[in-house]
Structure 1
Amino acid sequence: MRKHHPKNERIKRRYFDYLKEAKRMDASSIDQIAASIAAFEQWSNYRDFASFHIELAKGFKAHLIKQRNIKTGKELSKATIHSHLMALKAFVFWLAGQSGYKSRISYADADYFNPSANDSRIATARREQKVPTVEQVKHVLSCMPHSSDIEKRDRAIIAFTLLTGARDDAVASFRMKHIDLAARSVLQDAREVRTKGRKTFSTFFFPVGEEVEAMVREWVHHLKCTLLFGPDDPLFPATKVELTNAGLFGASGLSRHNWKNASAIRNPPHLQNCFRGSGACLCQSPQLAQYRCFAW
């Protein structure tokens, strides 16, 4: 069974380079587009893009409607389908202007990837997300253990996020120098903090309760006075991974490095003392499993 087409791979490389250098897109966004194109290629049995026909666009739209989410078993959402189709529409539109393709593909061919007007409205509609209340988050904080350094950090992450409203990827990249307890603010400096759109701005503490702010202050004091962290050290350090007495890799305290991404923060708290990848889950107690803590 065919698994790739050499000519397609070459033109895709050019397209991804165009997105990165000309369109200034982030690597994660390009990865999502690459996944959409790969899904179309697999469905078309890795047919040469130069032989694209509008019937292929129609067929792939019908194919997506029938697909189901691997994890949930439910039909793909309108938003997911819309995202795939828009990525393919942009790709085919770009192909129509490339040498070796423009004589075979017209710019109008890309429009056949458009979903129906009703589906587009459903996919792009803004909806209010369900999130825990402040009281629920405070209950989580009150239940969380905080004896070890890792437990202190995990509790402080939730308290800090409630206090500042910062995005998870930004939280994972903050350094000590970015928080100003006297001014009750956090500088989200895009040079060092992974902010959305790499914008620099200051965030001020929300009035969510003195006990929440006290948890953050205690954590910062613990880092400075007990662990002797400096201004350039991480505000929420990654978990140090070492070999345990059992001969397995496990958590052995905190490192002096930031997390590379927010995956450790995003992990759902469904197991007690669970450890995933570069850090422990936010909540390490089974009684907290009813909460996701935050809908990031």
Structure 2
Amino acid sequence: MAKRNAQNERMKRDYVLFLEETEGLDEKSTDKVLAAILKFEESTGFKPFTKFHIEQAVQFKKELNRAKHPRTGKALSHATVDATLALVRKYFTWLSGRNGFRSKFTYSDAAYFKNNRKNARIAHAQRDVPYPSLPAASRAFEALPSDTEVQMRDKALFAFLMLTGARIGAVATLKLKHVNLTECHLRQDAREVATKNAKDIDTWFFPVASAYLDCFAAWVAYLREDKFFGQEDALFPKALVGVKDGEGFANLGLAREGYASTASLNKIIRNAFSRLGMPEYTPHSFRKTLFLLGVETCETLEEIKAWSMNLGHEHLSTSYQSYLPMSRERQREVLKRFRS
């Protein structure tokens, strides 16, 4: 493998600083930028950015369209290719105005990273998001065992997602102090919880089946009364792994810290469905389940607005665009009712 270019690395660091200070991007966002730029560097054999030429951009687009996902082995999605090209194009646009680069290539040269219209249109097309129906979610939930601490946690996680529709990134950082069972309230304080766009979010539990609240309340009581967890301890702690006599490494119960990433929590929910032969619905799909419940339940615009805010959406249009896209055919069906 070719060795990374030191000058390139310095410029990438400068660019990350620029994004952090001028656009307020966090580390997770800048990591995506760096990953996209790295893909381009790999395609050129880590040639210095000062040697950039439009043929490199053209070749990079071809390679992306041929590339396979490292885990699935399938071709990269149109959305992934489009997003990668956009990130690299933005970087070279910025680079074209920097000292030492203005004479090497121009702003218009960076435009060669632009995706073609057909693929860009496919990448940005609005698609229906798979989601579990309320009966499907209930069936998966009821089938979850709760014999061990870890199983109790997994079932409580499922229940909590149905009660709140919280994003899994935020859930991974929640502590006991963020939940008020008396008020059936979740406070997502952006200073401590990894909310989207660092927004404070107040969520009162959605009116779903009582089994979800019973399960989650029992879990909180178990953490407080049996495990002696405090306010600063994780709401959904990671498993504690250690050496067990005669068994080697084994699960020893629960730690007091949450997971550093969302991968394990996502897997818990996906497996809850797949073990019953259902599609592997993700935690995020619960948000659509809950929003569609609101569409059926709410009778006034004020009610649906409050329901949308409960999901962390400042604008009602965000909820509708994300979870209730309408095709031309569906528009026709709805309007035909008024003539019947």
**TM-score (norm. length: structure 1):** 0.89
For 1:223, the aligned partner's letter is: L
The separation in 1 between residues aligned to 2:93 and 2:214, in whole angstroms, is 54
Q: What per-residue deviation string (whole Å, max 9, x for no partner) do you get for residues 119-144 of structure 1? A: 21221222221022221121111111
- Residue pair 2:163, 2:208 contacting (<8 A) in 1 also: yes
Residue equivalent to 2:280: 292
SS at match of 1:255: strand
Q: Does 1:239 find its partner at 2:235?
A: no
- Residue pair 1:156, 1:219 contacting (<8 A) in 2 also: yes
The separation in 1 between residues aligned to 2:221 and 2:249, in whole angstroms, is 29
Alpha carbons of structure 1 residues 82 and 6: separation in structure 2 relative to 1, 3 Å: same
Deviation at 1:228, TM superposition (A): 2.0
The separation in 2 between residues aligned to 1:214 and 1:295, in whole angstroms, is 20
Residue equivalent to 2:185: 185
Q: What per-residue deviation string (whole Å, max 9, x for no partner) do you get for residues 14-72 of structure 1? A: 21222223322121221111111111111111112111111211121122112222333
Deviation at 1:268, TM superposition (A): 5.5
- Residue pair 2:158, 2:269 contacting (<8 A) in 1 also: no
Deviation at 1:261, TM superposition (A): 2.3
Equivalent residue runs for 1:87-126 within 5 Å: 87-126=87-126
The separation in 2 between residues aligned to 1:59 and 1:99, in whole angstroms, is 26
Deviation at 1:229, TM superposition (A): 2.0
The separation in 2 between residues aligned to 1:58 and 1:170, in whole angstroms, is 39
SS at match of 1:187: strand
The separation in 1 between residues aligned to 2:281 and 2:252, in whole angstroms, is 25
The separation in 1 between residues aligned to 2:140 and 2:200, in whole angstroms, is 31
- Residue pair 2:7, 2:48 contacting (<8 A) in 1 also: yes
For 2:8, the aligned partner's letter is: N
Equivalent residue runs for 1:126-275 within 5 Å: 126-246=126-246, 248-267=248-267
Residue equivalent to 2:35: 35
- Residue pair 2:161, 2:283 contacting (<8 A) in 1 also: no
The separation in 2 between residues aligned to 1:34 and 1:150, in whole angstroms, is 36
Residue equivalent to 1:55: 55
Aligned length: 284
Alpha carbons of structure 1 residues 7 and 138: separation in structure 2 relative to 1, 3 Å: same
For 2:10, the aligned partner's letter is: R
The separation in 2 between residues aligned to 1:17 and 1:246, in whole angstroms, is 51
Deviation at 1:195, TM superposition (A): 0.9
Residue equivalent to 2:332: none
RMSD: 2.0
Deviation at 1:214, TM superposition (A): 0.9
Q: What per-residue deviation string (whole Å, max 9, x for no partner) do you get for residues 140-164 of structure 1? A: 1111111221111110000100110
- Residue pair 1:268, 1:292 contacting (<8 A) in 2 also: no
- Residue pair 1:95, 1:105 contacting (<8 A) in 2 also: no
Alpha carbons of structure 1 residues 17 and 247: separation in structure 2 relative to 1, 3 Å: farther
The separation in 1 between residues aligned to 2:218 and 2:131, in whole angstroms, is 26
- Residue pair 1:169, 1:262 contacting (<8 A) in 2 also: yes
Instruction: Show structure 2 runs of 5+ residues with no match.
Output: 285-340
Q: What per-residue deviation string (whole Å, max 9, x for no partner) do you get for residues 92-127 of structure 1? A: 011111111011111111111111122212212222
Alpha carbons of structure 1 residues 226 and 291: separation in structure 2 relative to 1, 3 Å: farther
The separation in 2 between residues aligned to 1:286 and 1:48, in whole angstroms, is 47
SS at match of 2:259: coil
SS at match of 2:240: strand
Deviation at 1:291, TM superposition (A): 4.9
Deviation at 1:259, TM superposition (A): 2.0
Structure with more helix by fraction: 2
Deviation at 1:286, TM superposition (A): 8.2
For 2:249, the aligned partner's letter is: F
Alpha carbons of structure 1 residues 142 and 164: separation in structure 2 relative to 1, 3 Å: same
- Residue pair 1:176, 1:232 contacting (<8 A) in 2 also: yes
Alpha carbons of structure 1 residues 291 and 226: separation in structure 2 relative to 1, 3 Å: farther
The separation in 2 between residues aligned to 1:205 and 1:269, in whole angstroms, is 19
- Residue pair 1:169, 1:194 contacting (<8 A) in 2 also: yes
Residue equivalent to 2:317: none
Instruction: Show structure 1 runs of 5+ residues with no match.
Output: 271-281
The separation in 2 between residues aligned to 1:268 and 1:153, in whole angstroms, is 10
